[in-house]
Amino acid sequence: PSRTAILKIRNEVNVRVRVDHPNIARLIEIYEDEKQLALVLEYCPGGDLFSHLCDRGRFPEQTARVIVQQMLAVLCYLHAHDVVHRDLRLEKWVLATQHDGSGFRFLAGPVKLVDLGNATVWSNKSKKMDVTCGALAYASP
Among 87, 100, 115, 130, the active-site one is 87
Name 112's bridge partners: 94
Angle of CA points 47, 54, 85, to nearest 5°: 60
87 is catalytic: yes
**How far is it, in rounded angstroms, from Cα 122 to Cα 30?**
24
Task: Please identify every residue annotated as catalytic.
Answer: 87
